[in-house]
Amino acid sequence: GAVVSQHPSRVICKSGTSVKIECRSLDFQATTMFWYRQFPKKSLMLMATSNEGSKATYEQGVEKDKFLINHASLTLSTLTVTSAHPEDSSFYICSAREAYYNEQFFGPGTRLTVL
Amino acid sequence: AQSVTQLDSHVSVSEGTPVLLRCNYSSSYSPSLFWYVQHPNKGLQLLLKYTSAATLVKGINGFEAEFKKSETSFHLTKPSAHMSDAAEYFCVVSEPSGTYKYIFGTGTRLKVLA
């Protein structure tokens, strides 16, 4: 099956720093990738839709200047949490849409802890 | 607009007994429906998916779900629960439009008692 990786799996940073999370589709090309955020014991909340070569589309209430998304190639999307604060601590999950099966394949997630 | 409702936030079953996790959806289109499982501090694993083929869908680990259009339901079942089934389960409906978004249910936490 299609595989999506995320890096890093876990990151701890100080308040005020920026953190970049990578999402890669390993064996297929993905024109569309998605970024989700999951709070403890909660469901996944869609943050934004990332389209290769164009600007990301953010969901209502998500700060686009806070969560920068870049989808520079058909296999890589990045999420940068700028000037991170403790309230940004969360589990971030990406997915990549595989066009033939019209299905999203999910990465294993990145646990961000901001001190 | 599409939506999905998971009727139970928590379900407890004894090991070896049947599992039923309920999901109802709302969709103006012919939906694609999915069930995912998430073990603690892990990513999502696809259990099964319905994409307008057979209404009874068989998935991994003995799970299956039946698409019932008249009831707008897609309940997940398993004949006999195993301790390893304890996890969070998400029902998902997919928008067939150009956005390809997934709409997640709020999740059902399954507890399996020895």
pLDDT digits (tens, 9 = 90+) for A90-108: 999 999 998 887 889 999 9
Q: What is the mean pLDDT of residues B64-89?
A: 96
Q: What is the pLDDT of residue B2?
A: 80
* Structure-token pair, residue A28: 């297929």
Q: Are A89 and A37 in contact (CB under 8 A)?
A: no
Spell out the residues 6+ positions from residue B53 whose beta carbon is closer than 8 angstroms to its own. none
Q: Rounded to an integer, what distance in angstroms lies between the CA atom of residue B71 and that of residue B33?
A: 14
**Which stretch, A103-112, B15-24, B39-48, has highest mean pLDDT?**
B15-24
Mean local confidence (pLDDT), B11-35: 93
Q: Record the tokens describing residue B106, joined without a space.
A: 């709020």
First to last CA, chain A: 37
Between B13 and B51, the more confident residue is: B13
Tens-digit pLDDT profile for residues A29-58: 998 999 999 988 888 999 999 988 888 999
Whole-angstrom distance, CA of residue A66 vs CA of residue B38: 27
Candidates B88, B102, B100; CA nearest to B34 is B102
Mutate to test the interface with A, among B100, B109, B111 (most CBs of A within 10 A): B100
Closest chain B residue to A51 measured between Cα atoms? B99
CA B29/CA B96 separation, integer angstroms = 7
pLDDT tens by residue, A68-89: 999 989 999 999 999 999 999 9
Cβ atoms within 10 Å, residue A86: 9
How much is the pLDDT for A7? 97
Q: In the prediction, which pLDDT does B108 show?
A: 97
- Backbone phi, then psi, for B85, in 5-degree steps? -80, -10
Residue B4 pLDDT > 80, yes or no?
A: yes
CB within 8 Å of chain B, chain A residues 39-68: 41-46, 49, 57
**What pLDDT, on the 0 to 100 scale, is given for residue B78?**
98
Q: Is the pLDDT of residue B36 over 80?
A: yes
Q: What is the pLDDT of residue A88?
A: 96
What percentage of chain B exceeds 70 in pLDDT? 97
Confirm or reject contact between A92 and chain B (CB < 8 A).
no
